[in-house]
Amino acid sequence: MTTLPAANAIATAATQAAQKINFEALRAVIAELLGGEASTQLTIAGGVVTATRAQHSIDTEGATATDDLDRIAQDNHPDGRFLVIRSANAARTVVVKHNAGGLGTILLHDGVNFSLNSTKKALLLRREGTTWVEVDRVYGDKIEEMRAWLKVEPDTVSTAVDRNITAPDRGKVITLTGATDRTFTFTATWAALGDGWNCYFKNASTAFLTIVPASGTIAGKATLVLKPGELVEVRSDGANGDLLGGILIWRERLTANRTYFVNPAGNDNNNGLTVGAPFLTLQKAWDVIHDTLDLNGFIVTVQLADGTYNTGVLCEGLCVGQDSYANIVFQGNNANPAAVVVSTTSASCFTARTGGQFTVKDLKVQTTTAGSGVRSIFYGSVVVCRNLNYGACVDYHNFAGYQGYLSLNNGDNYTISGGAFAHYYAFNAGLLDAAFNATCTLTGNPAFTDFARAENGGVIDARNATFSGSATGQRYDISANSLIDTNSGGASYFPGNSAGAVTTGGQYV
């Protein structure tokens, strides 16, 4: 780079030729300052470029998709000189490395590498000794990156009605509220919005949000549908919309107990929060609880209105903020459990699987074709049953298997009004606490293959129970190192009209 004429050199020049030399040197120095000459392109070689003027675009070595810029050689820049660099190609990213070491290393404000992933992004640097120090940065069309850098929260818009999405919505969080399905429609094409345009959509309603582009697709789809609790960032690439980071789930953190209402005349598009706007299915209630809430230790009750429900519920996985089975309660009619009937075909009524936990109380269960009343299966699942009426079930009234736990809660009386293959069935390390300190009343002489059955290391703890009424079938069947504990209740402890059987390491005590 050119050196400035010495102080007073022009004023004291003895000849016209000397003046010309001084003025040419001055012109050259001005040309080398920011804005003095047009930007030229440099290509990274071994992580290094050599700057020849005050502004350069930088391309990757070998035109690779991304490349690291470790150092900028200082041969042509005196100490204190400024330099602007940007990416030469929008399709390729130059990663400016912070403090990579060596002469010409680059020191960035936050100590974090800076990606030149747009031709409109730039860094302003100043030479300080053997380093280049960041003076400022420009994000250009990368608005969301600038917001993150400046720690600026995006604008938020909430609505419960259909809405058009326009170019000024760039960077906003647009939130759907309410309980009715709505549609957000883009009024400009992706090309008109431009590469890099983005906004966020959050479904804070209990309904569905459909997002319709004016052209092309969003994540390869003609429309994008967000379920309750989902959050996405949509970004234009000039031809279509992309989802950045996939679909995220935000959760409402409870600050008090809550009740969701279910009714055979309900609708799963309702919000379930009042008697007048109930869900139709138990599964919808569970999905809302599991997918959108942080229980924060509070209790959520699913209150079932009187009537018959023809689908059951699968509760899989522990809910966020759940302490135990007591946090989620499926509840019917305490005074008349038989008034609330969960009656399924080829399916079970209530299932906890792979860590799911809940309480079910004050209702009747029954199945046809196949299915059990209540199941707790797989690794840490917990179900507590209270004041149930067990109608006819094709498989089992109560099943605990594969390290699941099921309890007919201590001291709670209940009723059996229909038969099943087995009333109690513990299988493959399942633990079933039966009617401990409670009375089980049987009506109508229900038929069982086995009233109590334990296999493959299953355990049934049925101590101190009272059974009132009669049943047909074998009283118990124990095999494969399983245990049924009646606290010395004797061979006729369980209902039935044939003796129990113990084989292959089973124990009956």
pLDDT tens-digit series, residues 106-151: 999 889 999 999 999 999 999 999 999 999 999 998 877 887 788 7
Please give the tally of structural domains in the chain.
Answer: 4
Distance (Å, rounded) from C-alpha 448 to C-alpha 370? 15
pLDDT, tens digit (0-9, with 9 covering 90-100), for 430-477: 999 997 789 999 999 999 999 999 999 999 999 989 999 999 999 999
Query: How many C-beta neighbours within 10 Å does residue 275 have?
Result: 11
Q: pLDDT confidence of 2, banded at 50, 70, 90?
A: low
Q: Are residues 401 and 284 in the same domain?
A: yes
Q: Which residues pair with 343 in a beta bridge?
A: 366
Q: Percentage of the chain with pLDDT > 90?
A: 77
Q: How many CB atoms lie within 10 A of CB 87?
A: 23
Please tell me whether residues 22 and 46 are part of one structural domain: no
Residue 157 above 70 pLDDT? yes
Residue 269 and residue 210 share a domain: no
Order of strands across the sheet with 224-226?
Answer: 163-165, 182-186, 209-212, 224-226
Q: What angle do CA 442, 445, 446 make, to 5 degrees?
A: 80
When comparing pLDDT for 362 and 171, which is higher? 362
Same domain, residue pair 482 and 417: yes
- For residues 359 and 455, state if they share a domain: yes
pLDDT at 392: 98
Q: How confident is residue 1, by pLDDT bands cut at 50, 70 and 90? A: low
* Same domain assignment for residues 49 and 139: yes
* DSSP H or E stretch at residue 21: helix 16-32
Are 192 and 114 members of one domain? no
Confidence band for 153, pLDDT divided at 50, 70 and 90:
low
Tokens of 424: 């109690």
346-366 burial: b if 16+ Cβ within 10 Å, else e = ebbbbbbbebbbbbbbbbbbb
Neighbouring CB atoms inside 10 A of 24's CB total: 12
Residues 275 and 414 in one domain: yes
Q: Are residues 41 and 9 in the same domain?
A: no
Strand order in the sheet with 307-309: 307-309, 340-345, 364-368, 389-390, 414-416, 439-442, 466-468
Q: Which of 13-22, 166-175, 323-332 bottoms out in mean pLDDT, i.e. has the lowest? A: 13-22
CATH number, position 216: 2.60.120
**Domain boundary pick from 249, 280, 307:** 249
Whether residue 31 has pLDDT greater than 80: no
Which range has the worst mean pLDDT, 107-116, 152-161, 256-265, 361-370? 152-161
384 pLDDT higher than 80: yes
How far is Cα 352 from Cα 236, in angstroms, rounded to an integer? 42
Mean of all residue pLDDT scores within the chain? 93
pLDDT at 292: 84
Same domain, 212 and 317: no
Identify the domain boundary among 249, 276, 299. 249
How far, in Å, are 88, 114, 355, 479 from residue 96 at the CA level?
13, 5, 46, 69
Asked if 204 and 329 sit in the same domain, the reply is no
Q: pLDDT by residue (tens digit) across 303-352?
A: 999 999 999 999 999 999 999 999 999 999 999 999 999 999 999 999 99
CATH number for the domain that contains residue 365: 2.160.20.130
Please give the average per-residue pLDDT across 212-218, as a whole number.
96
Q: Is residue 128 within 8 Å of residue 108, measured between CB atoms?
A: no
pLDDT band at residue 64 under the 50/70/90 scheme: very high
pLDDT classification of 265: cutoffs 50, 70, 90: very high
Higher pLDDT, residue 482 or 1: 482
Tokens representing 7?
A: 């102080």
Terminal Cα-to-Cα distance of the chain (whole angstroms): 97
Tokens standing for 103?
Answer: 């002469």
If asked whether residues 201 and 266 sit together in one domain, one would say: no
d(CA 242, CA 180): 26
| Domain carrying residue 364 | 252-508
Q: Which of 94, 119, 145 is the last residue of a domain?
A: 145
